[in-house]
Chains A and B, each alone.
Chain A
């Protein structure tokens, strides 16, 4: 860890930028196609347009983000593959994932209101997503506890794995509990026949777009994590200096005679 942190190679920075641009473009295209170009559904009419963003967001949050978080945690804990990179990746992925999980609930709720008539329904998917959100918030809280970075990495990795193991259990228990949600029509691996033509393509584009957004955010967050860990001491020093400077200015303003008097 003695390499200078500022050495973020030009090529890597450019790659991140490229991903960001691709994400922006595909997202814009999805919105345009989703809202104006594609036809309304027979059953859901215009409301089906939310299918181009809600399931992609849900997929990214539940499977991609948390999956990477769990995988990174395992790879960090396993001695043979241990490297601070995995810890940073897991933490970054789960933080970005939390935003997407919350967004899943929000878009799901917005979609649910006109469809089912209620803002919130205790159906299987929403409930297990809500539980996942709480678990992710717990992980983030654990992450914020100050201390030795190695111990913190170990704690968080274990917490992520304990939660990850629970996710399928929660899923099954809540599915047995009740099901209002459409039965996985949209999350079928081979674009189920219930969605046709331009809608299918837009849906695919939606998945690609949201995934790109996530990947971009993950890369940026990863960079932030690396910088933060390397600059921990420096941040504190700067903050202290700012406080001291404030103290000096206050003292100077309070007492007309002399600057820097305590």
Chain B
């Protein structure tokens, strides 16, 4: 299973390195979103700094939807059949695509994080907490995104259906991520970020486990 996942992850990432779609299109898109938010909240920095955690995670969520669409579109319908017949372990395929997606999202988040710190003037109290929340949240997003991506993959209405399916399910990540970031930035109303970090980890664990178990049937359906 792990060998297959590394194979698939390598393929996806190599395609990304060569085509640079995520880097050239999704990343600028997310930065544009950040700027647009600044238009609505600014120009004074106080409201921006306050809203920064939430805006960061909302932007990440939207970028994730785009990244999932891209990840799914890497395979045409013939390639999808090929994937099924190739004898690769479906769980391995799931983990591979999820890992590739996660790598792309992490790069995006580093960029966005820098953008948020720069544009919104936030003071970072604990960078480690920020990173931990990002990692845990991203694992969950990548897992859930890969699942829904494969589910809606072959459908013609994929573009409109995918966000509709993914975003509600990803809502806990948005909520927990925001709260965890608020705690890490010292702007939390009260209470530590720990329970939220734990929630992110639970979400990630649940969806990775679910994906490993259920990806076989999903591949059969697409």
Contact = CB atoms under 8 A, between A and B. Distances in A.
A141 B161 contact: yes
By secondary structure, the A interface counts as helix
A155 B218 CA distance: 7
A166 B176 CA distance: 14
A97 B199 CA distance: 28
B168 A134 contact: yes
A55 to B, nearest CB: 24
A145 B153 CA distance: 12
Contact of A138 (B144, B161, B199): B161
A116 interface: no
Given A135-B169, A163-B169, A165-B210, A173 B155 contact: no
A166 B202 CA distance: 11
B172 A166 contact: yes
Contacts of A173: 171-172, 175-176, 199
B202 A169 contact: yes
Interface in A131-179: 131, 134-135, 137-138, 141-142, 145, 147, 151, 154-155, 157-159, 161-163, 165-166, 169-170, 172-174, 176-177
A163 B165 CA distance: 9
B195 interface: yes
B151 interface: yes
Given A165-B206, A173-B175, A154 B220 contact: yes
Contact of B171 (A131, A141, A161, A165): A131
A23 interface: no
Contacts of B157: 141, 145
Contact of B165 (A138, A165, A176): A138
A151 B217 CA distance: 10
Interface residues of A, number: 28
Contacts of A141: 157, 161, 164
A203 interface: no
Given A138-B161, A155-B151, A165-B210, A77 B168 contact: no
Interface of A: 77, 131, 134-135, 137-138, 141-142, 145, 147, 151, 154-155, 157-159, 161-163, 165-166, 169-170, 172-174, 176-177
14 contacts: A134-B168, A142-B151, A142-B165, A151-B222, A158-B214, A158-B217, A158-B221, A161-B214, A162-B148, A162-B214, A166-B168, A169-B199, A170-B171, A176-B195
Given A77-B217, A157-B217, 5 more contacts: A141-B164, A154-B217, A158-B214, A158-B217, A173-B175
